[in-house]
Amino acid sequence: MSTLTIRLPDDTAQRLKALAKSRGLSTNKLIEELSAHALAAWDTENHFRALAATGNVNRALEILERLDAEDDQAGA
């Protein structure tokens, strides 16, 4: 486990403390959970960017068109 010191505006720090308290968490645990969510989103974005870089644009558009057609049929 590492220690990380951050500087936040007073208002932001107070709001984070209030949020943590409302969730029954320590401020450290709240920051840990928020960090995990942010990193998961970043990992997901990077994963999809890597897939997009190696993908076939025409094939992707064909799939989207097929899905749109299926949605249209399901709604009819």
Length of the chain, please?
Answer: 76
With respect to residue 22, please indicate whether it lies within any of the assigned structural domains. yes
Mean pLDDT of the chain: 94
Locate 8 and state its tokens.
Answer: 């936040």
Q: Is the pTM of this model over 0.75?
A: no
Kindly give, in sequence order, each residue whose CB lies less than 8 Å from that of residue 25, ignoring residues fewer than 6 positions away.
33
What pLDDT band is residue 23 in, cutting at 50, 70 and 90?
very high
Give the total number of structural domains in the chain.
1
With respect to residue 30, please indicate whether it lies within any of the assigned structural domains. yes
With respect to residue 29, please indicate whether it lies within any of the assigned structural domains. yes
With respect to residue 21, please indicate whether it lies within any of the assigned structural domains. yes
Range of the domain at 43: 10-75
With respect to residue 4, please indicate whether it lies within any of the assigned structural domains. no
With respect to residue 36, please indicate whether it lies within any of the assigned structural domains. yes
Q: Hey, CA dihedral for 71, 74, 75, 76, is it positive or negative? A: positive
How confident is the model at residue 17, as a pLDDT?
98
44-67 per-position pLDDT tens digit:
999 999 988 998 889 889 999 999
With respect to residue 54, please indicate whether it lies within any of the assigned structural domains. yes
